[in-house]
Every structure is written in structure tokens, then in C-alpha cells.
Amino acid sequence: MEEKNEPKKSSNKIFLIIGIIIVLIGAVYAFSLMGKSSEKAPISQNNPQQGANNTNGNVDDPNGEAGEYVDPSVPVVKDGVIYSPEGEPARNDVEPGSSGAPQQSAPISQNEAPANSIKIKMTAEGITPGEFTVKAGSLVTLTVTSGDEWTHVFAFKDPSLSAVAVGLAGGETRSITFNAPSKKGEYEIYCNVPGHESRGEVSKMIVN
Ligand SMILES: [Cu+2]
């Protein structure tokens, strides 16, 4: 009888050991899962922080402040007067592109031409239109296009309009906004690239 009981006892011990091992493996597995979930927590906490940083960036965006020359080529107009990047009424008789001058725009496509702008095309064949008329002192926007593959520079002869100039790479379009002279008369326009005026790249602005 004793001999028969001994194998039973030993088989019970084996089941007990296997049971303990299974419980231990289960416990280790459970702890490893808890470890992973606690690792995930900081990652999910970072996302809202990143969102908050983005929101702060937008609040600090200076584009929201009215009246500031954020982009020098975007004209600032107050009461019909064009302002320079210096924050003063732009001067037509200074160096083109200087901080006191009306600024030419970045390159635009021809269908982005500002509303009511005067469209001017410069090619080796000449400048069209051959003349145009503006009102003295009025706000004028010119949209100037290089109608061929060549560089052209739109400029006035009269030193009182030295700042009103537009430089164009081949095929490029840019605009410039300025106040027309208060003095009535005809103001000659030419292409300020050597050899271009003499081959007929001229026009004129009539101020009345
Ligand atoms: Cu030219």
C-alpha cells in the first residue's frame, strides 16, 4: 500500500511545482505588461504639450499686428499714402529698394496682379502701353512683366521718381505701389538695361 502511495505523492509535488512555475511566469508577464503601460504614459503626456507649444507659436505670430511691414514687398497704405518699411510715407526720390522707398513686390503670376493696377509689358520689342495717365498724387500700382526671356528694369528718367523702379528676370512679373507726383506733366519711362532704351524700350506716364 505504501509503495502505491509514493508515486501519487511525487506526482502531486510535480503538479505543485508546475503550478508555481505557471503562476510565476504569469506574474512576470503581468509585471512586464504594467511596465509597458507605464512607459506609454509619458509619451501620451507629451502630445498635449506639443499642441500647447504650437498654440503659443501662433499667439506670438507678428502677422496679426495691423499696420506693420511684416513683408517689405507687401504695400502698407494709410489714407491713400504708401508707406515705406521705415514706417514713414515712402519717398519717390531715393535709391530704389532702399528702406525709405516704395518696394517692388516679390515675383507674382500675371493673374495675381493687384486689382486696378496698370499692366505694363517689357520686351525687346518695346514697352506697352506706350503711355498711360494717372492723377496727380493718387495711389498708383504698376504690374510690370518681362514678356520675353530677358532681364528688364523699369525706371523713370526724372530723378524725382528714382525710387519707382522694378527689376525683372526673364518672364517675371512684379508690382509696385507709389504715390504719383503732385506735379503734372509727362514722365519718361525707359528700360535701364544697357542697350534696351536705344532699341526702343520706352514709355511715358502722364500726370494730370
Ligand atoms: Cu529691357
- For residue 74, the one-letter residue type is V
pLDDT exceeds 70 at position 58 = no
- The pLDDT assigned to 14 comes to 52
Average confidence (pLDDT) over 132-137: 98
- Across the range 17-34, mean pLDDT stands at 45
Is the domain of 127 the same as that of 24?
A: no
| Shared-domain flag, residues 80 and 56 | no
| 89, 33: one domain | no
20-34, 37-51, 78-92 — which one is most confidently predicted on average? 78-92
Domain co-membership, 57 together with 81:
no
Residues 111 and 49 placed together within one structural domain of the fold: no
**Mean pLDDT over all residues of the chain?**
78
pLDDT, average across residues 44-72: 38
Is residue 142 domain-shared with residue 196, that is, in the same domain?
yes
Mark the residues whose beta carbon lies below 5 A from ion ligand 1. 152, 191, 193, 196, 201
Q: Are residues 111 and 153 in the same domain?
A: yes
71, part of any domain: no
Among 32, 61, 90, give the residue marking a domain's end. Answer: 61
pLDDT (0 to 100) of residue 11? 63
Could you give the CA distance from residue 173 to residue 175 in angstroms, rounded to a whole number?
A: 7
66 lies in some domain: no
CATH code for the domain in which residue 92 is found: 2.60.40.420
The three grid cell numbers given for residue 142, joined into one nine-digit string? 504698376
Q: Are residues 11 and 102 in the same domain?
A: no
Domain membership flag for residue 68: no
The edge-to-edge listing of strands for the beta sheet with 152-156 is 131-134, 202-207, 185-191, 152-156, 166-168
Residues 19, 117, single domain; the answer is no
Distance CA 134, CA 155 (A): 16
Expressed in angstroms and rounded, the spacing between residue 74 Cα and the centre of ligand 1 is 25
Q: How far is the CA of 194 from the centre of ligand 1 (A)?
A: 8
Same domain, 198 and 119: yes
H-type helices in the chain, by residue range? 2-59
DSSP state letters, 139-194: EEEEEEEE-SSS-EEEEESSGGGTT--EEE-TT-EEEEEEEPPSS-EEEEEEE-ST
Q: Does residue 138 have a pLDDT over 50?
A: yes
Residue 35 domain flag: yes
Task: Report the alpha-carbon distance of residue 175 to residue 180 in Å, rounded.
Answer: 15
The answer to whether residue 4 scores a pLDDT higher than 80 is no
> 185 C-alpha vs ligand 1 centroid, how far in Å?
24
Residues 57 and 114 in one domain: no
**Looking at the domain assignment, is residue 70 inside a domain?**
no
Boundary (domain end) residue, out of 61, 94, 112: 61
- List the domain range (segments joined by +) for residue 131: 76-207
Q: How far is the CA of 147 from the centre of ligand 1 (A)?
A: 10
User: Structural domain tally of the chain?
Assistant: 2
Quick one: 83 and 146 in the same domain?
yes
In a domain, 28, yes or no: yes
**141 found inside a domain:** yes
Q: Is residue 118 part of a domain?
A: yes
Which amino acid, one-letter code, is at 176? I
Q: How far is CA 195 from the centre of its chain?
A: 35
